[in-house]
């Protein structure tokens, strides 16, 4: 993680911004550390003082920006809400607003989602699974199980609902690959999300 490296904050911002831009524009394989240090206005020696390799920088950046994105969501979430569908909708609205505010961050996370370079693919998947498990626990540990119909296993229902909306999010991420952030219409995405919500409520709720 960046914050454990004791990098000067101004230099850290330059490295993060430069690496985010170069990796998202080129993908892992074609991105060069020469382009990153040029963009950041630092020497290669400084970059490799903090990161052992391009791979180390890439994975550290992915973990750092994913954590940062999650914290921005958590900061705006209503933690009193206990309805799983309301929580999911809140997260979706916040994500869509963040897409507009931080397009470079979103472009990088989207490029990592589609990255298939063998050198980093396995580690990326491990980080993603860890982040997914952490967010599931944080978001859904206090769900109101009383809303589910009698005879429904609430824990399994929550898992099915989560998988459905994870799949929906992945589908939206795949669409975003061929679109600019400006072309993502919040109303259209939320209308589609609400149609899945209505279907699942009819299946699981009283």
Distance of CA 68 to the CA centre of its chain: 9
Q: What are the mean pLDDT values of the chain's consecutive 10-residue runs (206 residues total)?
A: 64 90 94 95 90 94 92 94 96 87 85 91 94 91 94 94 91 69 74 95 95
For residue 22, which phi and psi values (nearest 5 degrees)?
Answer: -70, -45
DSSP 154: H
Distance of CA 83 to the CA centre of its chain: 22
DSSP 78: -
What residues contact 162, with CB distance under 8 A and at least 6 apart?
Answer: 136, 140
For the chain, the structural domain boundaries read 56-204
pLDDT at 55: 95
56-204: CATH class: mainly alpha
> For the whole model, what pTM was predicted?
0.85
CA–CA dist 27, 118 (Å, integer) = 12
């Amino acid at each position: 993680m960046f914050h454990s490296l004791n990098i000067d904050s101004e230099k850290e911002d330059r490295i993060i911004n430069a690496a985010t831009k170069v990796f998202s524009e080129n993908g892992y394989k074609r991105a060069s550390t020469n382009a990153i240090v040029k963009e950041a206005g630092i020497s290669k020696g400084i970059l490799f003082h903090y990161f052992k390799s391009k791979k180390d920088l890439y994975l550290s950046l992915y973990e750092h920006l994913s954590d940062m994105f999650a914290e921005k969501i958590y900061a705006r979430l209503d933690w009193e809400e206990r309805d799983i569908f309301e929580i999911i909708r809140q997260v979706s609205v916040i994500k869509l607003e963040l897409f507009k505010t931080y397009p470079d961050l979103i472009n990088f996370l989207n490029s990592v989602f589609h990255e298939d370079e063998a050198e980093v693919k396995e580690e990326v998947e491990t980080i993603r699974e860890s982040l997914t498990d952490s967010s599931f626990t944080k978001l859904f540990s206090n769900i109101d199980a009383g809303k589910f119909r009698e005879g429904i296993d609430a824990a399994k229902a929550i898992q099915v609902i989560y998988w459905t909306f994870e799949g929906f999010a992945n589908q939206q991420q795949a669409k975003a690959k061929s679109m600019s952030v400006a072309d993502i219409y919040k109303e259209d995405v939320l209308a589609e999300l609400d149609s899945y919500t209505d279907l699942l409520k009819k299946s699981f709720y009283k």
